[in-house]
Amino acid sequence: MTMKDAAQRAIQLMDLTSLNNDDSVETISKLCAAAKTDFGSPAAICVYPEMVVWSKLELSRLGLNSVKVATVTNFPEGSENVDRAQAETERAVAAGADEVDVVFPYKALIGGDSQVGFNLVKACKAACAEKAKLKVIIESGELKTAELIRQASEIAIAAGADFIKTSTGKVPVNATLEATEIMLKAIQNSGAQCGFKAAGGVRTAEDAAKYLELAASIMGAQWVCADNFRFGASSLLGNLLNTLSDAEAVEKDGY
């Protein structure tokens, strides 16, 4: 896979993300505008729940109706409060979110409680009903061990997750290839229709290529599409556009 190929594919698999405490309507308008590139648009933008309605309006104004709006719940701490996570998810879906990224109660799992994670994911899946996809953030960098990463993945999948996602992007260690391999194999072994999202730490076309190649080697090349595979990132897009612009300039110059 060339870097240009990787960059082109990665743009279409991105959840272009802004989850900052100082986000404003101006910030999110700029995010939506950034989603309109000469090389296609990302699969989704990911924003805080209070920005869902504004995001939908801005994307529509820009003619980007195919771009989904994702949001986050139980974020970023991964509380064990099932009722709160479910209520947040219900409100997000009512606001028009197409996808909800909920944080798994990973601290409870580290402490030995696997049931609350199952209950929370199941409740949030019910809150999504048929209106939104549920992406479950297991926070692999905090789980640390292969066994806990595998266990969290399996619990989330069994409870009905549409995607499992590495990270919130708010901890020291986010997506890694090692965690990705464990999570993809959990999906493969489950036989379930579940996707995967690498979030945080994927910053360049070279990084993206490694994840794309790993996913294809485990799940098959045809599986790696926006319905099944995403990158969650804020800074990745600029690098991808630079990679594609440089490649386009070289082609035009005949080199």
Neighbours of 151 (CB within 10 A): 17
Known catalytic residue: 227? Answer: no
Candidate list 15, 101, 162, 207, residue with the active-site label: 101
Known catalytic residue: 210? Answer: no
45-66 CB burial, b ≥16 within 10 A, e <16: bbbbbebbebbbebbeeeebee
Neighbours of 209 (CB within 10 A): 18
Give the up-direction half-sphere exposure of residue 171: CA atoms within 13 A in the CB hemisphere. 22
Candidate list 4, 98, 165, 207, residue with the active-site label: 165
The string of DSSP letters for 1-33 reads --HHHHHHHHHHTEEEE---TT--HHHHHHHHH
Nearest CA to 200 out of 181, 227, 173 is that of 173
Known catalytic residue: 197? Answer: yes
How many contiguous H segments (helices) and E segments (strands) does the chain have?
11, 8
Q: Say if CB 200 and CB 166 are below 8 A apart.
A: yes
Candidate list 68, 133, 197, 207, residue with the active-site label: 197
> Which neighbouring-strand residues pair with 134?
100
Nearest CA to 122 out of 139, 134, 106, 108 is that of 134
What CA–CA distances, in Å, run from 13 to 80, 196, 232, 254? 30, 11, 9, 29
Give me the active site residues, please. 101, 165, 197
